[in-house]
A and B are shown apart, each in its own frame.
Chain A
Amino acid sequence: MSRPQSESTPGLIAPPLTTASLTSTFTTSSMSRRSLFKGALGAAALVGLPGFLAACGSGSSSSGAGATGQGATGAVSYGSNQSDAVPKKSIADMVTAYQQQSGGVTVSVNTIDHNSFQENINNYLQGNPDDVYTWFSGYRMRFFADKGLAGDISGVWDGISGMGDALKTASTSTDGKQYFVPATTYPWAVFYRPSVFKAKGYQVPKTMDDFYKLTAQMKTDKLIPLAFADKDGWPAMGTFDQLNLRINGYDFHVSLMAGKENWADQKVKKVFDAWRKLLEVSQPDSLGRTWQESAQSVQKNDAAMLVQGMFMAQQFTKGADQEDLDFFGFPEIDSNIGTDAIEAPIDGNMMAARPKNEAGAKNFLAYLATPAAQQLLVSADPSVIATNTNADTSGYTALQKKAVDFIGAAKNISQFLDRDTRPDFASTVMIPALQTFITTPSDVDGLVNSIQNQAKTIFVS
């Protein structure tokens, strides 16, 4: 059934983020979380201070900017995968707002069913793509940029303000040019109901020991400690990422996803061993359950927690129900690794390699980077946040505000397993492998050897 608009790809295919974009570190120093967020939001991390300052410097909107987008006129076609009613309307609102101030550029939106868009992206881009189209950052962007199927929009980036170097890195391909304009992002974390925690006197766990003490208590209280679903194949990737980030750290995650590490390594086995223990407190029969159903078991207070993206808020009714949803970062497992690496995929827009109206497309993309445009998107879907730090957050829900702080405080940000590695590897190897693990968690050696054998044949080209 439907998957979250912003979520990866579940089903079939999905590409990921590569190394370089993610590898960067940021020293927390004395800046406040908030200011830190301004520069670092979203993507990987800050590479240097200048970018950070630049990001904070200007509060003005950058619409119409971008070296080659100025003074553009004519029609631009926009391929949108936002096919659900609510986001579809927010796109329409945004386009209307753009046309009122574009000075002659008109945009025709071509909405394509979300899943079809993803599954056909290959043919779409090689055929007759729209001038501007929705896509994802990181490896998934880079894969197509490297094949010459995306347009260079470095000029547009020169005029963008409110997006720090971290976001720029996540929008940059291997050739050092930008091909992507970030729009929204959302974190993966452990979600729970504060009202339940309060009623039962539970404390948010900081370490894995706390976590297991908490789950033992939940079991005696007749609650399923951790909801879990993996029918669609991708949600379990999130749990793998969280464990891997906590046990082996961000850099290992990046090189493992890039095919530079051996999957049969002791480090990967440790992740699966830790996961086997986690499965004991997880909801059983996860392979017959969709992520929506697992989110609903938290919503109905059958289960206490869920490792999921913030899009799980979509399963909660707006208002009081949604306000009673909170999250905490995945607990610490190794104190040498800590908890400052998190996962937060970025969604955004790209330009066709040979757009029919290049100036118009760039003008429109520049607008898509503005706080005004992003606010229109975010107001429709309170399970994501704007990537532009100048966006007005006063209308944010408590959950969105927390996400802003959470992402801002992170040192390293991964994208998601299927956005951080080769798409063919994620969908044809990792999904079946993780499902095999969930069915038979005992045979870790056989599993990691099988993954490694297949990885060897895929990471050659």
Chain B
Amino acid sequence: MVDTAVPLTAPADSTRSTNRPERKRKVRRLTGRDKLTVAFMVVVPSIVVLGLIWLPAIASVVLSFTRWNGIGTLQGSDFIGGENYVNVTTIYPPFWPAIQHNLIWLAVMFFVATPIGMFLAVLLDKEMRGGRIYQTALFLPVVLSLALIGFIWQLIFSRDQGLLNAVTGSQIDWFGDQKYNLWAALVATTWRQVGYIMLLYLAGLKAVDASLREAAAIDGATEGQAFFRVVLPVLRPINIIVLVVTFIESLRAFDLVWIINKGRNGLELISTLVTQNVVGEASRIGFGSALATFMLVISSIFIALYLRVVMKGDER
């Protein structure tokens, strides 16, 4: 969202500076209408970005220094400095597990879901018989909302009435036991994420020039070498998209655990803690905002890293 503002202003600047001397005559002065259009194109997105992103973000940070319960005006609330932050990090038991779970979530999306999705895409790209059926089957979960996926997996993982325990005869409390529930939830998420990644790679693979592979084969590359040394580098734009999707999906992970047990008992994520504190009958908006600020900072780190990688790539 941040980058939407950039392209709009940047081109205007660059044309003016590089073309100034020789073409000055040819460029007609902007008419009033043109100016209006340009102004409109600059001002509207700016207002949108400011109003919908920066103001709420800053407001959250400000609120995190108060003890506001969401009722009445802000004037009535106490300004308590960094107390919320101290409380979050010292006496709020779910906080550190939540940070840990978010990182595990990211790692699993990145190191498990993405490779599996990539692998399935390569298999399906081989034009095997019934490929479309597999493709549809694997992509199907992506069409479902995560809330629905939560319900589906409850039917499988329920301790007393679930499919898994009924079939295997085990007595494992998949969604209730802290030893298992995060991993059970990750299986459900991966189930969906894999289809998404697969489709992205499949689209990319279809677009790879067949002659590249032929050339690699003629040069004596094995299938693996051809994929990792030739095809994958060609897929660079897709890789970046997948990277972004993975980051976004991990940071906004929420729906599934919320459906399972409202993000408690081993399924704490920062997003669920924010919701528990901010949404509801009588809310700890200040405290929840402090949690949200932590989330903002963590997201910003990943976004900054990501932007650096992308920008650097474009310069090359």
Contacts and interface: CB of A to CB of B under 8 A. Distances in A.
| Co-complex (A, B) | yes
A460 B171 CA distance: 45
Given A122-B282, A143-B282, A285 B91 contact: no
Interface string B149-166: 000000001111100000
B55 to A, nearest CB: 19
Given A285-B177, A287-B173, A457-B87, A435 B265 contact: yes
B92 interface: yes
Nearest to B184: A288
Contacts of B284: 424, 428, 458
A121 interface: yes
Contacts of A411: none
B290 to A, nearest CB: 12
Contacts of A454: 87, 91-92
B94 interface: yes
A423 B157 CA distance: 31
A140 B284 CA distance: 16
B93 A424 contact: no
Contacts of B262: 11-12, 232-233
A12 B175 CA distance: 19
B261 A287 contact: yes
A77 B34 CA distance: 52
Contacts of B78: 461
B70 interface: yes
A287 B180 CA distance: 12
A432 interface: yes
B92 to A, nearest CB: 7
Contact of A432 (B93, B171, B173): B93
A9 B282 CA distance: 12
A432 B264 CA distance: 7
Given A126-B71, A233-B261, A457-B83, A288 B173 contact: yes
Contacts of B70: 122
A461 B72 CA distance: 14
A142 to B, nearest CB: 11
Nearest to B160: A293
Contact of A431 (B72, B160, B264): B264
Interface in B82-99: 83, 87, 91-94
Interface string A200-220: 000000000000000000000
A195 B179 CA distance: 38
A287 B265 CA distance: 8
Contacts of A321: none
Contacts of A363: none
B192 interface: no
Contacts of B276: 12, 427-428
Contacts of B92: 454
Contacts of A231: 175-176, 261
A289 interface: yes
Given A122-B280, A286-B176, A424 B69 contact: yes
A450 B284 CA distance: 18
Nearest to B97: A432
Nearest to B83: A457
B135 interface: no
B280 A293 contact: no
A66 to B, nearest CB: 28
B176 A453 contact: no
Nearest to B151: A1
A147 interface: yes
B299 interface: no
Interface residues of B, number: 38
A359 B300 CA distance: 54
Contacts of A238: none
Contacts of A297: 160
A254 B199 CA distance: 58
B281 A9 contact: yes
Given A287-B173, A288-B174, A118 B158 contact: no
A286 B175 CA distance: 10
A361 interface: no
Contacts of B69: 424, 461
B171 to A, nearest CB: 8
B279 interface: yes
Interface in B174-222: 174-178, 181
B277 interface: yes
A149 B69 CA distance: 14
A288 B279 contact: no
A285 B67 contact: no
A14 B262 CA distance: 15
A15 interface: yes
B261 A232 contact: yes
A182 B78 CA distance: 35
Contact of A122 (B161, B261, B283): B283
B277 A428 contact: yes
Nearest to A124: B281
Given A231-B176, A289-B176, A293-B160, A119 B67 contact: no
A301 interface: no
A164 B242 CA distance: 66
Contacts of A140: 281
Contact of B283 (A14, A293, A424): A424
Contact of B282 (A13, A284, A285): A13
A174 interface: no
A233 B94 CA distance: 14
A134 B213 CA distance: 68
Given A289-B159, A457-B91, A13 B281 contact: yes
B176 A285 contact: yes
Interface in A183-242: 231-233
> Which are the 3 A-B pairs with shortest beta-carbon distances?
A288-B176, A13-B280, A285-B173
12 contacts: A118-B280, A122-B71, A122-B280, A122-B283, A126-B71, A287-B261, A289-B160, A428-B284, A432-B265, A435-B264, A458-B284, A460-B67
Interface of A: 9, 11-15, 118-119, 121-122, 126, 140, 143, 147, 149, 231-233, 284-289, 293, 296-297, 422-424, 427-428, 431-433, 435-436, 439, 450, 453-454, 457-458, 460-461
Given A12-B262, A453-B91, 13 more contacts: A11-B262, A140-B281, A231-B175, A231-B176, A285-B171, A285-B173, A288-B157, A288-B177, A293-B159, A296-B160, A424-B284, A454-B87, A461-B69
